[in-house]
Amino acid sequence: MSTSSQFTLLRNANVFAPAALGLKNILICGKKILYIGEDLPQLSDCLTVQEIDLTGKAVLPGFIDAHTHITGGGGEAGFATRVPPVPLSHFTSAGVTSVVGLLGTDDVTRNTQSVVAQVYALREEGLSAWCYTGGYHLPPTTLTGSVKSDIVFIEPVIAVGELAISDHRSSQPTFDELIKVAAECHVARLMTGKAGVLHLHLGDGERGLSLVRRALQETEIPARTFNPTHVNRRRALFEEACELTQKGCWIDITAFETGPDGYEPDEAILHFLEQGFPTDKLTISSDGGGCLPCFNQQGELTKMDFATSKAMTAIFFQLLQQGQSIDKILPFFSQNVANLLQLPNKGQLTVNGDADLIVLNTKQDDIDHVMALGRWHKFNGEQIKKGTFEV
């Protein structure tokens, strides 16, 4: 199977854009979608066209994983526990066609330079990629000396994160320190039209989101600037985060298993829906490439695992198996993320939008094909395009 063609025509596609559009034909040229409609477009015989009859299979926009450690995470139990960079196929095999990379605990042996370099590498391999500047700690690691100028002057840098709060591994930022970073994010958004959010790592601490709630009460910084993640790790934290969506914050669920005090990812999404919170303010990400450490009360590491983007995709299929409709849950994996991060050509299937798409199998319990920017990366369940150093 060739990974590229001048034109690709997908016939009889059951399109979720994310709204359910029914059976349509989709014409793709280069990296863009040219046509979505019921009629078959008439193309000249002199054109090279790859034509595929999908026989009613569901076609979705590619997933956006907006929290992934593309350079690798870890390092919390010594240098040997540093996770290597995440290869291309770990994303596309899971249906992820856009990623946003970041630093976590280790913003010393890794830095903004290495994240930006990995963004460019993934782009060269055919993935859409961006990144955050900064990491867990203050003062933040940057390329230009400030997070605002990083966002303004470095094209792939769209926001700040993941700055840690309510966590023993954080730099214990004060209220004044937090709102100064948030203010820089907001001004950078005004100057550039980029996302300009402050992506906040939430730990297990009882303080939870108190700093964010105070910021919304005492400052003029817009609520959309504050974007907490890992909010399903404790039930009380999740309830607190859900309330913030009513004030205009987007919140992010992480697709890893939680402890006894948290909500499993699918459970968190269902709870959010049942409680009637704003469905356009919820996203899910994988924490891919990052470590999943467990600590005792003394802050000592007791065990460690590592996340992948496939965990996020598994939650999507779990929700389908539990009776949720594709169009109801799909925005959490696509359109909501694109709206938060100001990525207008991502997260939906639309004419002139990027040709990033997923084709589900007939049973809707696995992925048949994945296309990123008009090129097949996975076809008939087989990974046909891999990263430069993948075997």
3-state secondary structure of 272: helix
137 annotated among ligand-binding-site residues: no
In eight-state DSSP terms, residue 110 is S
CB atoms within 10 A of CB 374: 21
In terms of Cβ atoms closer than 10 Å to its own Cβ (0-12, 13-18, 19+), residue 325 is exposed
CB atoms within 10 A of CB 145: 9
- 8 Å CB contact between 93 and 368: no
Angle between helices 235-245 and 265-274 (to 10 degrees): 40
CA distance between the termini of the chain: 18
Q: Which active-site residues does the annotation give? A: 287
Question: Which amino acid is residue 279, in one-letter code?
Answer: T
69 annotated among ligand-binding-site residues: yes
261 annotated among ligand-binding-site residues: no
230 annotated among ligand-binding-site residues: yes
369 annotated among ligand-binding-site residues: no
Burial 74-102 (b: 16+ CB within 10 A, else e): bbbeeeebbbebbbbbbbbbbbbbbbbbb
The binding site comprises: 67, 69, 201, 230, 287
The binding site for Zn(2+) comprises: 67, 69, 201, 230, 287
